[in-house]
Amino acid sequence: MISVCIATHNGEKYIKEQVDSILSQLEPEDEIVISDDGSTDNTLAILEAYHDFRIKVYTYKHLRKYRYIFDYATHNFENALRQAKGDIIFLADQDDVWMPNKVERVMANMNDCDILFHGRKVVDSNLQVIQEFAMPHPEFWRNIKSCTTTGCCTVFKRKILDKVLPFPESGVGHDFWIGVYGGFFYKRKFLKESLMLFRRHGNNVTPSNTRSNNPILMRLRYRIIILWEIVKVCLKNAVW
């Protein structure tokens, strides 16, 4: 069974295009698990109009103010992941589009790995290609340095989900946390195919460029936090 987890917030402009591209690839027993963080537009109405039992919508209300804007999306995703029933977990953003063969290609490559990263085409708001191919660096420490892991290009097995929840409260992006933890402790695979259109429209939570504009001290702090969180989970779960 496949669970596709999506965090939504005022995503009416693109959500239908994304859900359409996913639903066409799912079997009757699969699911799209959506956690909505207080949308005030037509996002929920668009989802309800499907009348598709595979689409399961949950509401999420953040209980406190977070330090970084991405923390809101991170814990919204966490709410979706907690509801997921599948053995294979896909992450998806509300504004992208899946290639028609994404599920087929991913599932054909999951037998010999626990977490899979695939490539993407970076596109503008009209789906015109900006960058033909991009994906995380396959070397663990190079990926820590560059922070190139994106959740929408990450697929993993339930045994990883059971380990990475709950997400750290110290300001770590959900995709980087899952990618780094899963890629370090479990068997990873890099599929050099673009299996989705990664839409950059100016209002994304993640920056449009691949290089961070954050101050160097903030970037250093972020990497120290992720490594420390991994150590804490190791001690808790006796991974090593």
Percent of the chain scoring above 70 in pLDDT:
78
Tens digits of residue pLDDT in 164-220? 898 887 677 788 889 888 888 899 999 989 999 999 875 555 544 444 455 666 667
By the 8 A CB rule, do 56 and 85 touch?
no
d(CA 106, CA 194): 11
- List, in order, residues 6 or more apart from 166 with CB less than 8 Å away: 78
Q: Residue 28 burial (CB < 10 Å; 0-12/13-18/19+)?
A: exposed
Q: Where are the beta strands (DSSP E) in the chain?
A: 2-8, 31-36, 55-59, 88-92, 97-98, 115-123, 129-134, 154-157, 188-199
Percent of the chain scoring above 90 in pLDDT:
57
Tens digits of residue pLDDT in 127-170? 999 988 776 655 555 555 555 667 899 999 999 998 889 888 76
pLDDT band at residue 240 using 50, 70 and 90 as cut-offs: very low
Write down the pTM of the prediction. 0.84
Q: Is the pLDDT of residue 50 over 60?
A: yes
What domains can be seen in the chain, in order of their start residue?
2-237 (3.90.550.10)
- Residue 218: HSE in the Cβ half-sphere, 13 Å Cα cutoff: 8
- The pLDDT value recorded for residue 239 is 47
Tens digits of residue pLDDT in 93-104? 999 999 999 999
